[in-house]
Structure 1
Amino acid sequence: MVRIPNKVILPFGYHIMIRQVTDSEMDRQDSNADGIWDNEAKTIYIRKRLPVTRRRYILAHELGHAWLDWQHRYLDDGKARS
């Protein structure tokens, strides 16, 4: 079984932290979401009560958001943010 990592490192040292959080922790950020990408904290938050297959799906989805943020910061030199 593939476990959920605590960290992913993209090129140029772009560290992404991954936190599996309780329902109450997630609800403070967004009660309708099972996963969130926080680009300021460079952290992905995932509801830990979900089945591991669902958490892996959410992780892949949120990593897509993180990848786009990395691309805008390092490849587009911030130009795609506007």
Structure 2
Amino acid sequence: MLRIPAHVILPFGYRILVKQVTDSEMDARDKDADGIWDSDTRTIYIRKRLPVTRRRYILAHELGHAWLDWQHRHLDNGKAST
């Protein structure tokens, strides 16, 4: 069975929350998006009405954004963001 995890932990304890949200919750963030990475709260939001295979694809995409954020914060001590 394919499942969407509630969280993912990157190296050095960089914890990513994964929240599957309703259409109205996602539309309040971005009506055109099916997934969003929020770096301030370290949360990935995914539209839960989508098929699980699509949600897993979106999760992988948003984890790419989270990974880049982790790199900037931990590998280069924020130097890439200045």
Q: State TM-score, norm by structure 2.
A: 0.97
Q: Give me the whole-angstrom Cα distance separating, in 2, the residues matched to 1:17 and 1:48.
A: 15
Runs of 4+ in 1 over 3 A off after TM superposition: none
Gapped regions of structure 1 (runs ≥ 5): none
Percent identity, aligned pairs only?
77
Counterpart amino acid of 1:56?
A: R
What do the CA deviations read for 1:35-74 (whole angstroms, capped 9, x no partner)?
0000000000000000001000000000000000000000
Partner SS state of residue 77, structure 2:
coil
Aligned counterparts of 1:9 and 1:65: Cα–Cα separation in 2: 14
1:5 aligns with 2:13: no
Give the aligned partner of residue 76 of structure 2.
Answer: 76
- Give per-residue Cα distances to partners, 1:4-35, cap 9 Å, x unaligned: 00000011110000000000000000000000
Alpha-carbon distance in structure 1 between the residues aligned to 2:71 and 2:15: 13
In the other structure, the counterpart of 2:35 is 35
Aligned residue pairs total: 82
Residue in 2 aligned with 1:23? 23
Question: Cα RMSD over matched residues?
Answer: 0.6
Q: What is the alpha-carbon distance in structure 2 between the residues aligned to residue 69 and residue 79 of structure 1?
A: 12
Equivalent position SS for 2:15: strand
In 1, the alpha carbon distance for the partners of 2:2 and 2:50 equals 15
SS in 1 for 2:8: strand
